[in-house]
């Protein structure tokens, strides 16, 4: 089941963006500040109406799906990470089961274990660090067992060890056929961990291909205005400016 943007235009933010995302892959959306990355991700989740064009889940317009069916198919992790109520971690993660109308205790336990939160079940969310809360919000998405995971800067609040751990979780999801789309600012993480990279600039698509092509030195120079070079072997690349 593919997820696609077709000539998607949102005034002042996106201009005729088209891209088809494949299940079983990690796709990174990259670009400078204000490029339209978060806007595209929110539109793919059905949270922003298109001025022109549309988002499709397989062959169906996303806007035509019942909200419950859309929520079952797509798990969205926003950048803000706000939690309205000071519930326990287990209760927060269990909210991911709401579209299914069941407790899904096994799915909740699996999600907490995958995000290294097994010992946090009874902790109030207010007592968590920024990184711990980010992992709890990701666990909430995983508990819903969606076919698509859309995450806006999911690594930003995490230390190095937990960044790598979350990337392993997302890779495992992709290996099981889930489509994963991430907004990333760290180009090295995109280069080393994504199967595909979409580069946006000023609301337009500048590149859409394998990381080695989409994040070539020429693209980085054109989009970010930075002279840089890649060091290291494939999968272990570092960007040096």
Neighbouring residues of 103: CB distance < 8 A, sequence distance ≥ 6: 94, 97
How far is Cα of residue 132 from the mean position of the Cα atoms in its chain? 18
Give 109-132 pLDDT, tens digit per residue.
999 999 999 999 999 999 999 889
pLDDT at 51: 85
Specify which residues 141 forms β-bridges with.
none
Give 73-108 pLDDT, tens digit per residue.
999 999 877 787 899 999 999 999 999 999 899 999
The parts of the chain modelled with pLDDT lower than 50 are none
Q: Are 143 and 105 in contact (CB under 8 A)?
A: no
21: nearest Cα among 149, 193, 129, 206:
149
222: nearest Cα among 211, 214, 234, 230:
214
Neighbouring residues of 177: CB distance < 8 A, sequence distance ≥ 6: 23, 24, 147
DSSP-based three-state secondary structure for 108: helix
Percentages helix, strand, coil for the chain (3-state, rounded to 5) are 40, 25, 35
Total number of domains constituting the chain:
1
Specify which residues 30 forms β-bridges with.
199
In a domain, 141, yes or no: no
The domain containing residue 184 runs over which residues? 3-80+146-240
DSSP-based three-state secondary structure for 100: helix
Supply the DSSP symbol for 116.
Answer: T
In a domain, 99, yes or no: no
DSSP-based three-state secondary structure for 101: coil
pTM of this structure: 0.95
Angstrom distances, CA of residue 21 to CA of 1, 145, 201:
9, 18, 19
In a domain, 103, yes or no: no
In a domain, 60, yes or no: yes
In a domain, 110, yes or no: no
In a domain, 168, yes or no: yes
Q: In this structure, what CATH number is given to the domain that contains residue 233?
A: 3.40.50.300
- Based on DSSP, count helices (H) and strands (E) in the chain, helices before strands: 9, 12
Specify which residues 230 forms β-bridges with.
239
CA distance 80 to 66: 25
In a domain, 132, yes or no: no
pLDDT at 80: 78
In a domain, 129, yes or no: no
């Amino acid at each position: 089941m593919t997820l696609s943007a077709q000539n998607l235009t949102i005034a002042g933010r996106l201009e005729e963006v088209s891209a088809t995302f494949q299940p079983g892959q990690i796709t990174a959306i990259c670009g400078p500040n204000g490029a339209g990355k978060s806007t595209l991700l929110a539109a793919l989740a059905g949270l922003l109406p298109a001025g022109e064009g549309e988002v499709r889940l397989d062959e169906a317009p996303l806007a035509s799906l019942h909200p419950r069916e859309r929520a079952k198919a797509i798990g969205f992790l926003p950048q803000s990470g706000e939690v309205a109520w000071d519930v326990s971690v287990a209760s927060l993660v269990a909210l991911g089961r709401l579209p299914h109308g069941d407790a899904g205790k096994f799915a909740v336990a699996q999600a907490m274990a995958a995000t290294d939160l097994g010992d946090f079940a009874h902790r109030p969310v207010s007592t968590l660090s920024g990184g711990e809360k980010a992992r709890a919000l990701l666990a909430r998405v995983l508990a819903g067992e969606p076919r698509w995971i859309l995450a806006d800067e999911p690594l930003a609040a995490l230390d190095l060890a937990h960044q790598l751990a979350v990337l392993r979780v997302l890779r495992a999801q992709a290996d099981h056929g889930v489509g994963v789309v991430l907004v990333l600012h760290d180009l090295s993480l995109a280069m080393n961990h994504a199967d595909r990279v979409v580069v946006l600039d000023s609301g337009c698509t500048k590149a859409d291909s394998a990381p080695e092509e989409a994040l070539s030195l020429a693209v980085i120079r054109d989009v970010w205005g930075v002279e840089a070079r890649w060091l290291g072997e494939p999968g272990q690349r570092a960007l040096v400016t």
